[in-house]
Structure 1
Amino acid sequence: MKVIEPFTIEGTSTFFLDVEGIENLLVSVQKVSRDIGFKLFERTKIAEITVAGNKRIEVDAIERYINTKPGDAYVPSRLSSDLKSIYSMGYFEDIRIESKDTPFGKAITFYVQEKPTIRRIEFKGNNIYDDKEIMDALNIKSGSILNIFSIQKNLIRIEDLYKEKNYHNVTADYEVKELENNQGDLLFLVQEGEKVKIEKIAFEGNVVYTDKELKKQMKTNEKGFWSWLTNSGELEKEVLNQDTVKLRSFYQNNGFIEAKIAEPIVEYQEDMISIKIKIDEGSKFKVGKVSVAGDLLFPKIELMENLKITRNEFYNREVVRNDILTLSDLYSDEGYAYADIYPRISKDVENLEVNIDYVIKRGKKVYFESIIITGNNKTRDKVIRRELRVYEQEIFSGTRLKRGIRNLYRLEFFEDVRVDTVEGSTDDQILLKINVIEKPTGNFMFGGGYSSVDYGYLTAAISQNNLFGRGQVLELKTTFSMKSSTYSLSFTEPYLFDKSISAGFDIYNQNRDFNDYDKSSLGGRLRLGTVLREYTRLFWSYSYDVSDISNIDNDVSDLIKDSRGTNVTSATTVSLKYDSRDRRFNPRDGHFDTVSVEYAGLGGDVGFTKYLAESGWYYPLFLSTVGMLHGKGGYVREHSNAFLPDYDRFYLG
């Protein structure tokens, strides 16, 4: 192929086209056409593009940022754009372009100078956070490219980390120490400054409630005299946001259904923080008409009796919410797990009243298709299932399910119990998924102390509250002191033959030096118990005790003298116990009541009837503390023609 310039015969150029295969014809024609265009318009072609100077960054990675390709026209502005594109990678300190003429066109070389890598990262001036805590907040590590832009972003991260703890005057800077082999050490310089606390919380727009009353609703507070020792006056953004929700709830729980709480305005100064919260209280509304509507499973009057909100009292959003939960529980106990209940509220602005309609959509009645238990690596499935109070193919019951989960926590086998319900194979069945996180149930205790009775003493106990994963309890305990020693072995099977019957035994050997005599006892007890109703159990036990009384002082009472020698006590005890505590150990809520009658005189030397009553109440207080009220009393009556030893009597103290 020849191309001839129209004004001169000498300007002839020849182009050759050599194609292998018809499929490559189009590409080859396009290439020749481009070469002809370069010739006609006197444009220079780029023959080759190379990259030089790189040591760590692969050539392929750099070439992906170069849009100009060999065979393209030589356009300096496009090469300049390619240079900027490579620079945006953030890996290079300097980049330059060199071009060289060749018989085939321009040879382009991108010379790159890589930035140094970070050999080590160090910190100076940090006391509030240790090096690891700051390092975890950064997104650069040793071995990464020393990128100034990245370092500056991480300076902001350090300052933000300190501001989380109210060090708002913190400043962070950096230094780079250049090393051989294109490496550098990065040093972050931190000036922590002083902690800044809340000096003032002010409200704007509040008329009905004073600033003091509103501050009581908030966890965020102003610094006080003891703020240097406590956390008072510290600002936590998340807590402050929660406080605005609390303020809104406070107003809506006191009739101000239209109350609006603006986002707090936080102002930072060099030595203090001030917070301003704007409030639009609106008007205070009373409750007008209250009714229920929709799918009523129960008589309307019965549903209304379960509601706590009443006419002519001030509107209270919390009471309305609890009413919804009450109605939901009623419907869920009838199998309507997905009942939709919502309050339809209409405001009468003229009379300042709100009318409330609880609208009920019951949905479909559902059943437990299956119960899937996971996470129990040690505890057997049946130990968990027997506490649940719900069963497969049974109608759904929210109350019994909640009670079952409470029972699982009472076992003290699990750190956490997670419950989830998902749709079953049909729309009227659900799968109950229970995932438990087990905790150690074996305990070894060793300790000691001092008392006015025993003086110094040591105690040791080993127990397993979930023996072999069957829920059985085994305990071995011993106590030594200067005046006594005790050995005991106890075993309990909570579900004998997989029935709601508990059984167990106790064996003990006790030696005690009282002020007036010595007592040595050997005995045991057999125990049975059964469930009467939820939280209520009936217990029966038989005990046999052989006690030897010796070393009696001369000036003791005749009662003690009469007990000299061996005394055999054969007794049976019946007790009734109610226990609704949320935990057996360290409970936070609930109470227990126990009454028992012990009859001694089934053979042996000792005869009496002993009555005992005990009660304990637990109340959650504040700061994770629990209040407890506990009382215990008893009465013992000696049988005629029988003996009541001194150690079975009641004494003050």
Structure 2
Amino acid sequence: MRRFFIAVMMLAVVASAQVIQAIRFDGLLHLSPDVAKEITGLHTGEPIDIEKVDEAIRKLYAQGYFKDIWVTEERGVLTFHFKEKPVISQIVISGYGENKKDELLSAIGLKKGDIYDERKIEKAEALIRSQIESEGYFDTVVETETTPLENGSVKVEFKVNKGENIIIEKLNLCGAKHLDKDDIEKVMANREHDFMGWMWGFNNGKVKIDQLKYEAPRIRDLYMRHGYLDCKVDNPLLRVDFDNYKAILDFKITEGPIYKVKAVKIELAQKVIDPVILRDELRLKPGEVFDIETLRHDMEHIKTKLADMGYAYVRVVPDFSKDEKDHTTVVKYRVYPGDKVYIRDVIISGNTRTLDRVIRREIFLAPGDLYSLTDMKDSKAALMRTGYFENVVIDERRVNEHEMDLVVNVKEAQTGNIMVGGGYGSYDGFIFNASVNDRNVFGSGLAVGLSTDLSRHRTNFNFNITNPRIWDSDYSAGFNIYHNEFENYDYTEKRFGGSVTLGKQIARYWHLSGMYQYYSTRISNMDPNFPDYEFYANNDFVTSAGTLSARFNNTDDFYLPRHGMIFSASAMYAGLGGDAEYNKNYFTFMIFQGLEDYINYDLILRYKARLGFFGNDRKLPVSAKFYMGGVRTVRGYESGSIGGFYETSDGYIYRTGGEYTFSNSVEASIPLLEAAKMRLAFFLDYGMIGDDSFDEYTRAGTGAAIEWFSPMGPIQLIFAYPLMEESGDRTSNFEFTMGQRF
């Protein structure tokens, strides 16, 4: 700045009555000379005006790229000299958890390539302190060290001293009489320290300063779910002993009486629907205890009902008048529908690979259509179910009172890979995998895969190609060819064959398909004591079969659903020529429920069930029967190791499979390392199988699984423990899967 004033004084002396002959720029990197000249507002041929030059310097400095600017003049030539701010090429955060650095860098809004700016650095320091204090650390100190590098850029290091945790030793809820302390604590972020609070599932008692201001509204909201409309909760009082960093958190609560609903009314500003229809579908009924959560649900129901009729900008305003004498309330919904809205255009954004038409065919709204909120939500879910996208956001851009544009912003996921890898299974030993596959070839939606698996007991080669929407229609087609060799516990099976599948989307969530498969099987190395040995021994037998399937899927994501259900049913008939003749029926059911909206924590509950049985078994190969064990049925046991058993006179046990089977699983999935896209799931499996009934053999397993969205695709590492184990069972404590839904 000293040079700036010297330059201005010199310019003032020599520039009187001078005319600008030329304007030049020295040391300019981040702006082009044309842009810089436009910013100055100066032009050749006009008189040199010190005030205008001064204003030009201020405008250029305001761009934020420059550390210093000064001007020199020689024979009418104005030269602007620049000393630019350095570029940040390295950002380091020391003294903070390694697994949280990426999350923290994203939060502070600083990245490599940014211009070094002291104001941004100060803001970043404040954000780091705020983030760490929100985790319960007080007296946090953040210091910044800037190191110039040889290439002219700088390294910025934030040195963090997290200070000390303040622990809530006692939570006092003064005046809370009718709701349990445990129930109130469940809605709070700041909770009393539990014994062994360091263990998962217990309260560690750490103070979360940023959440304190929300605690009183949370408690009052809980009371209003139980009818306490007069409930008052004062702001919290946190008493801290800084000698030992322990605290007492106090809340003063005035509960008041419980109110019941006297009547429910709906007032429509425009009579676009009979209010009686709306009122009959509401959950909050006269005579019931008032519940603010139910009221919110009913508001959303009214909004959705009218939004599905085209009223995109409908407003629902709740009101309830209290009668403090008899403790009742009249709930009134004032509804302002507005005008009907039509879709003017659907704009696709963010797709660098997937073709627009592949995205549009999953969207249930098109230009000219009447707006529907349900159609918009279903469109997002349908796009996520394809597995092509990591995230989908549909923005509504209001054009006028009667029109809107839908902007579909997608973030594409990795759908294809060339992978060479390996793993380990308790039965197969070390496994070598090599595959080339893509679920979205050239962004067309076409799925192609070529893979091989080699292990101690298995050699598989497989090629498949599927088009889920032929010519963007509701029809699908697939082709598969394979050659497998598997050393079972009691024999070796070689199979070569293929299949052709045709299907059709018959409704938004329903898909029907028909498949024809033809394969030849040869079983060898079978002991002569094996049941029906003569049928299998060294004979090739052919299976020619047709399968009809129906599938329902309304989940909201392909790999990690949080909401929705999947149901499938298939009936296979083998006997369309060939040697085998049997009827095989199989049903699956899966339901997913995320609880983040209810408990403010990303917990996902899952239930999965599988049911299978044969209608007839005239010529039923042992390899076609049902077997349990492994990742798809009961974990904790080797894959396919549980089924019917045949014991010879010398005590050897053969596994002969079963004609009836049922297995189900309960799972709970929680975040583990969010920055690494890693989750932890706990599971309990139970299954049964038999030849004459479902429950001849029953087994169970439990354990935990790491669910990881790795750069190679979804990977699941399973650690299992068998329950109900019996003598002769083949158990397995570790398995893994790749590319499958969690």
Under a length normalisation based on structure 1, what TM-score does the superposition of the two structures give? 0.71
- The reply to whether residue 645 of structure 1 matches residue 621 of structure 2 is yes
> Compared with structure 1, are the counterparts of its residues 173 and 574 closer, same or farther at alpha carbon in structure 2 (3 Å cutoff)?
closer
Match runs of 1:17-96 below 5 Å: 58-59=5-6
Cα RMSD between the aligned structures?
A: 3.7
Aligned-residue offset at 1:318:
1.3
SS in 2 for 1:461: strand
Aligned to 1:541: 515
Aligned to 1:222: 192
What is the letter of the counterpart of residue 308 of structure 2?
D
Q: Where does structure 1 lack aligned partners over 5 or more consecutive residues?
A: 1-53, 64-125, 146-150, 175-186
Aligned to 2:488: 514
Aligned-residue offset at 1:375:
0.8
CA distance in structure 2 between the partners assigned to 1:475 and 1:504 by the alignment = 12
SS in 2 for 1:387: coil
Of 454-463 and 500-509, more deviation after overlay is shown by 454-463
What is the letter of the counterpart of residue 592 of structure 2?
Y
Aligned to 2:315: 340
> Compared with structure 1, are the counterparts of its residues 202 and 427 closer, same or farther at alpha carbon in structure 2 (3 Å cutoff)?
same
> Compared with structure 1, are the counterparts of its residues 191 and 371 closer, same or farther at alpha carbon in structure 2 (3 Å cutoff)?
closer
Aligned to 1:470: 444
What is the letter of the counterpart of residue 544 of structure 1?
Y
Aligned-residue offset at 1:315:
1.3
CA distance in structure 1 between the partners assigned to 2:158 and 2:392 by the alignment = 45
CA distance in structure 2 between the partners assigned to 1:516 and 1:162 by the alignment = 59
What is the letter of the counterpart of residue 613 of structure 2?
Y
Aligned partner (choices 436, 440, 451) of residue 414 of structure 2: 440
SS in 2 for 1:632: strand
What is the letter of the counterpart of residue 460 of structure 2?
T
8 A Cα contact 1:521 1:545, kept in partner = yes
Match runs of 1:228-627 below 5 Å: 228=198, 232-270=204-242, 271=244, 272-294=246-268, 295-424=270-399, 426-445=400-419, 446-452=421-427, 454-559=428-533, 561-562=535-536, 564-620=538-594, 624-627=602-605
Aligned-residue offset at 1:585:
1.9
8 A Cα contact 1:552 1:561, kept in partner = no
Deviations 1:530-557 (A, max 9, x none): 1122211111011110222334433333
Deviations 1:164-203 (A, max 9, x none): 55443568999xxxxxxxxxxxx99998754322222222
CA distance in structure 2 between the partners assigned to 1:634 and 1:441 by the alignment = 32
CA distance in structure 2 between the partners assigned to 1:234 and 1:293 by the alignment = 47
CA distance in structure 2 between the partners assigned to 1:374 and 1:583 by the alignment = 19
What is the letter of the counterpart of residue 331 of structure 2?
I
Aligned-residue offset at 1:356:
1.4
What is the letter of the counterpart of residue 199 of structure 1?
E
CA distance in structure 2 between the partners assigned to 1:509 and 1:241 by the alignment = 64
Deviations 1:63-95 (A, max 9, x none): 9xxxxxxxxxxxxxxxxxxxxxxxxxxxxxxxx
Aligned-residue offset at 1:451:
2.4
Aligned-residue offset at 1:443:
3.4
8 A Cα contact 2:387 2:558, kept in partner = yes
SS in 2 for 1:350: coil
Deviations 1:489-534 (A, max 9, x none): 1111011122101111111001122344332211110011111222
CA distance in structure 1 between the partners assigned to 2:574 and 2:502 by the alignment = 18
Aligned partner (choices 195, 220, 233) of residue 165 of structure 2: 195
SS in 2 for 1:327: helix
> Compared with structure 1, are the counterparts of its residues 386 and 282 closer, same or farther at alpha carbon in structure 2 (3 Å cutoff)?
same
> Compared with structure 1, are the counterparts of its residues 620 and 344 closer, same or farther at alpha carbon in structure 2 (3 Å cutoff)?
closer
Aligned to 1:10: none
Deviations 1:618-645 (A, max 9, x none): 33357534333322232235576xx332
What is the letter of the counterpart of residue 636 of structure 1?
F
Aligned-residue offset at 1:616:
2.2
8 A Cα contact 1:307 1:323, kept in partner = yes
Greater Rg by CA: 1
SS in 1 for 2:501: strand
Aligned-residue offset at 1:205:
3.5
CA distance in structure 2 between the partners assigned to 1:159 and 1:327 by the alignment = 43
SS in 2 for 1:328: helix
Aligned-residue offset at 1:259:
2.2
Match runs of 1:196-215 below 5 Å: 196-215=166-185
Of 431-440 and 459-468, more deviation after overlay is shown by 459-468
Aligned residues: 515
CA distance in structure 1 between the partners assigned to 2:449 and 2:544 by the alignment = 24
8 A Cα contact 2:417 2:437, kept in partner = yes
What is the letter of the counterpart of residue 173 of structure 2?
F
Aligned-residue offset at 1:573:
0.7
Aligned-residue offset at 1:127:
4.5
> Compared with structure 1, are the counterparts of its residues 302 and 547 closer, same or farther at alpha carbon in structure 2 (3 Å cutoff)?
same
SS in 1 for 2:478: strand
8 A Cα contact 1:202 1:211, kept in partner = no
> Compared with structure 1, are the counterparts of its residues 563 and 206 closer, same or farther at alpha carbon in structure 2 (3 Å cutoff)?
same
Q: Where does structure 2 lack aligned partners over 5 or more consecutive residues?
A: 11-93, 111-115, 145-156, 628-641, 644-742
> Compared with structure 1, are the counterparts of its residues 578 and 172 closer, same or farther at alpha carbon in structure 2 (3 Å cutoff)?
closer
Aligned-residue offset at 1:267:
2.6
CA distance in structure 2 between the partners assigned to 1:630 and 1:191 by the alignment = 47
Under a length normalisation based on structure 2, what TM-score does the superposition of the two structures give? 0.63
- The reply to whether residue 635 of structure 1 matches residue 605 of structure 2 is no
Deviations 1:256-305 (A, max 9, x none): 22323222222332121222222233332211111222233333332221
CA distance in structure 1 between the partners assigned to 2:594 and 2:158 by the alignment = 47
SS in 2 for 1:479: strand
> Compared with structure 1, are the counterparts of its residues 246 and 646 closer, same or farther at alpha carbon in structure 2 (3 Å cutoff)?
same
8 A Cα contact 1:559 1:646, kept in partner = no
SS in 1 for 2:311: coil
What is the letter of the counterpart of residue 573 of structure 2?
Y
8 A Cα contact 2:136 2:209, kept in partner = no
CA distance in structure 2 between the partners assigned to 1:155 and 1:307 by the alignment = 50
CA distance in structure 2 between the partners assigned to 1:533 and 1:144 by the alignment = 56
SS in 2 for 1:268: strand
> Compared with structure 1, are the counterparts of its residues 217 and 487 closer, same or farther at alpha carbon in structure 2 (3 Å cutoff)?
same
8 A Cα contact 1:289 1:355, kept in partner = yes
Q: Percent identity?
A: 28
What is the letter of the counterpart of residue 582 of structure 2?
F
Aligned-residue offset at 1:308:
0.6
Of 287-296 and 313-322, more deviation after overlay is shown by 287-296
> Compared with structure 1, are the counterparts of its residues 207 and 634 closer, same or farther at alpha carbon in structure 2 (3 Å cutoff)?
closer
CA distance in structure 1 between the partners assigned to 2:313 and 2:348 by the alignment = 22
CA distance in structure 2 between the partners assigned to 1:443 and 1:152 by the alignment = 42
CA distance in structure 2 between the partners assigned to 1:351 and 1:432 by the alignment = 49
What is the letter of the counterpart of residue 208 of structure 1?
H
Aligned to 1:38: none
What is the letter of the counterpart of residue 627 of structure 1?
L
What is the letter of the counterpart of residue 174 of structure 2?
E
What is the letter of the counterpart of residue 260 of structure 1?
K
> Compared with structure 1, are the counterparts of its residues 504 and 549 closer, same or farther at alpha carbon in structure 2 (3 Å cutoff)?
same
> Compared with structure 1, are the counterparts of its residues 169 and 532 closer, same or farther at alpha carbon in structure 2 (3 Å cutoff)?
closer
Aligned-residue offset at 1:234:
1.4
8 A Cα contact 1:172 1:189, kept in partner = yes
Match runs of 1:89-108 below 5 Å: none
Aligned to 2:699: none
